[in-house]
């Protein structure tokens, strides 16, 4: 099973959770097939979780699981791709699916220039269909080399082609919204949160929370074992 | 004036000197310890907050060890295999190089040109560890100080250049050390290849 299939399957399997991560709180139930341990972890006052209720996530809604992983990622970052390929599947199967932790994705385009329009596209897709954001992210990581050096117009064109071919979304409408700057505030919210939290220019940058407390941050090539041992959930 | 290892004999001199010095158990152990410390420096420098957490937080001993060991290439990180392997190679070269320096210090006079390469190699190793393009290398922090943090994204190998440069500098350093020992003996064996 490749990464995209894995994430898409996971996102579909956690459909309830993803559908409820629009910040509306209308569907904040735990995803089917998962169990949320009693007594959620809660989240402290920390810059990394500012605006977290409007972010894509896997697992129980943010604050309801004992552990929370807030990952600032740039679609153009090779280390994020490696993290997504090697570590996120383990996080999903060992922490997210059993309801031990929530994995929250925050766009943080600070590496290559094409990461910025890609992050806009991710936000626009998230607005339209929360589950599809994982498909698009996996796509960016899968074919990073093809996007290298591409100008924003090219990034949007390639993204539109992918969305039209691989998702049920109205690709043109979604990408037009990103092109027009319709999700600028959402992108800015993530960037501001990452900078305020101290993510600097490093991705992926993980902020780890357990039982309502901020534990530490971890950046770069981080393994699953490090995350699990740090969370202690 | 320092020379470069351009002939086969130069490489044989380097290999023989390394073999003779590292055949002494004390220097071999010293080199291994230095290599482990160098690798620790390379990987811990990427995540000081996490290392601090692992050392200070009230964790189970197993978790503490898991976090620290999990930062090393092949034991836990998501380093690309080539990047992880190069880091290990640089650490081993640092160990061998410092063992040569130690031997040279104890047995001969050491010139700055011969030992300076070791320091440069360690510095480059630290700078090259991690993915500079994604900012997870110390290099980015250093360049950011002069407002040039974004420069590393222009490097074709995404910062791995510094690790490769570290390999080159360390090999040269060891060659210069071996060259400085030419004509001498290690435990009764002539350094010069027969």
Question: Least CA distance to B148: which residue of chain A?
Answer: A201
User: Half-sphere exposure (CA, 13 Å, Cβ side) for A25?
Assistant: 4
Query: pLDDT value at position A37?
Result: 45
B-chain CB neighbours of A226 within 8 Å are: 50, 66-67, 70-71, 76
Q: How far is CA A108 from CA A64, A192, B46, B110, in A?
A: 24, 9, 19, 49
Percent of chain A residues topping a pLDDT of 70: 82
For residue B18, count other CB atoms closer than 10 A to its CB.
Answer: 19
ipTM of the complex: 0.80
Quick one: DSSP state of residue B93? H
pLDDT digits (tens, 9 = 90+) for A22-39: 232 333 333 333 334 444
CA distance A115 to chain B (A): 12
Chain B interface test: which of A84, A140, A147, A220 (most B C-beta within 10 Å):
A220
Q: In this complex, do A218 and B50 lie within 8 Å of one another by their Cβ atoms?
A: yes
Low-confidence ranges of chain B (pLDDT < 50): none
pLDDT of A46 > 70? The answer is yes
Q: In angstroms, rounded to a whole number, what is the distance separating the alpha carbons of residues B94 and B123?
A: 10
Contact A78, B158 (CB under 8 A): yes
Q: In this complex, do B78 and A86 lie within 8 Å of one another by their Cβ atoms?
A: yes
Query: pLDDT value at position B114?
Result: 58
Which of B53, B80, B158 lies closest to A230 in CB terms? B53
How does residue A157 score in pLDDT terms, banded at 50, 70 and 90?
Answer: very high
Count the residues in chain B: 194
A213 vs A201, more confident: A213
Q: In this complex, do B76 and A77 lie within 8 Å of one another by their Cβ atoms?
A: no
Query: pLDDT value at position A8?
Result: 47
Q: In angstroms, rounded to a whole number, what is the distance separating the alpha carbons of residues A217 and A48?
A: 10
In this complex, is the C-beta atom of A48 within 8 Å of any C-beta atom belonging to chain B? Answer: no
For helices A171-179 and A115-128, give the axis angle rounded to 10 degrees.
130
H or E element at residue B101: helix B81-107
Predicted model pTM: 0.80
What is the average per-residue pLDDT within A152-167?
Answer: 97
Q: In this complex, do B50 and A74 lie within 8 Å of one another by their Cβ atoms?
A: no
Quick one: DSSP state of residue A61? P
Question: Least CA distance to B140: which residue of chain A?
Answer: A201
Query: pLDDT value at position B76?
Result: 77
A-chain CB neighbours of B71 within 8 Å are: 223, 226
CB < 8 Å from B in window 64-93 of A: 74, 77-80, 82-83, 85-87
At which residue do the structure tokens 């979780």 appear?
A: A49
Query: pLDDT value at position A6?
Result: 47
Quick one: DSSP state of residue B175? H
In this complex, is the C-beta atom of A144 within 8 Å of any C-beta atom belonging to chain B? Answer: no
CATH number of A3-231: 3.40.30.10
| Strands A57-58 and A67-73, bridge-based pairing | unpaired
Query: pLDDT value at position B142?
Result: 66
CA distance B108 to chain A (A): 42
What is the average per-residue pLDDT within A129-151?
Answer: 95
How does residue A226 score in pLDDT terms, banded at 50, 70 and 90?
Answer: very high
What is the average per-residue pLDDT within A217-222?
Answer: 90
B-chain CB neighbours of A75 within 8 Å are: none
How does residue A64 score in pLDDT terms, banded at 50, 70 and 90?
Answer: very high
Q: In angstroms, rounded to a whole number, what is the distance separating the alpha carbons of residues B135 and B100?
A: 33
Residue A168, Cβ density class (10 Å: 0-12 exposed, 13-18 middle, ≥19 buried): exposed
pLDDT of A194 > 80? The answer is yes
Query: Mean pLDDT for chain A?
Result: 86
What is the average per-residue pLDDT within A105-119?
Answer: 95
What is the average per-residue pLDDT within A71-81?
Answer: 94
Query: pLDDT value at position A150?
Result: 94
pLDDT of A179 > 70? The answer is yes
What is the average per-residue pLDDT within A77-93?
Answer: 93
Beta bridge partners of B185: B190
pLDDT digits (tens, 9 = 90+) for B112-132: 555 666 677 677 766 766 665
The full DSSP string for A18-38 is HHTTTSS-TT-PPPTT--PPS
């Amino acid at each position: 099973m490749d990464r995209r299939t894995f994430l898409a399957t996971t996102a579909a399997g956690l459909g309830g959770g993803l559908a409820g991560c629009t910040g509306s709180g209308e569907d904040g139930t735990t995803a089917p097939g998962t169990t949320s341990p009693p007594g959620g972890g809660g989240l402290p006052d920390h810059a990394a979780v500012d605006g977290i209720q409007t972010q894509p996530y896997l697992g129980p809604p943010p604050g309801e699981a004992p552990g929370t992983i807030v990952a600032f990622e740039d679609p153009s970052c090779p280390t994020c791709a490696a993290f997504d390929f090697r570590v996120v599947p383990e996080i999903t199967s060992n922490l997210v699916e059993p309801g031990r932790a929530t994995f929250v994705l925050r766009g943080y385009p600070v590496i290559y220039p094409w990461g910025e329009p890609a992050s806009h596209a991710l936000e626009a897709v998230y607005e339209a269909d929360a589950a599809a954001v994982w498909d698009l992210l996996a796509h960016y990581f899968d074919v990073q080399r093809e996007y290298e050096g591409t100008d924003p117009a090219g990034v949007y064109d390639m993204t539109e082609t992918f969305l039209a071919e691989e998702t049920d979304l109205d690709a043109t409408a979604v990408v037009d919204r990103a092109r027009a700057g319709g999700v600028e505030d959402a992108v800015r919210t993530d960037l501001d949160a990452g900078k305020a939290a101290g993510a600097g220019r490093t991705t992926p940058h993980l902020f780890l929370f357990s039982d309502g407390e901020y534990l530490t941050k971890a950046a770069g090539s981080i393994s699953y074992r490090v995350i699990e041992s740090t969370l202690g959930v | 004036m320092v020379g470069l290892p351009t002939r086969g004999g130069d490489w044989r001199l380097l290999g023989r000197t390394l073999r003779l010095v590292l055949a002494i158990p004390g220097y071999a152990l010293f080199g291994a310890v230095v290599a482990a410390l160098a690798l620790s420096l390379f990987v811990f420098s990427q995540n000081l907050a996490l290392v601090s957490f692992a050392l200070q937080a009230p964790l189970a001993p197993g978790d503490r060890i898991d976090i620290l060991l999990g930062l090393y290439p092949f034991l836990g990180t998501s380093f690309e295999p080539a990047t992880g392997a190069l880091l290990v190679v640089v650490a081993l070269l640092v160990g061998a190089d410092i063992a040569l320096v130690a031997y040279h210090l104890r047995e001969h006079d050491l010139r700055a040109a011969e030992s300076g390469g070791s320091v440069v190699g360690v510095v480059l190793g630290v700078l090259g560890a991690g993915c500079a393009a994604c900012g997870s290398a110390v290099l980015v922090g250093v360049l950011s100080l002069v407002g040039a943090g974004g420069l590393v994204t222009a490097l074709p190998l995404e910062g791995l250049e510094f690790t490769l440069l570290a390999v080159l500098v360390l090999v040269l350093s060891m060659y210069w050390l071996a060259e400085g020992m030419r004509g001498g003996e290690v435990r009764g064996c002539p350094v010069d290849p027969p």
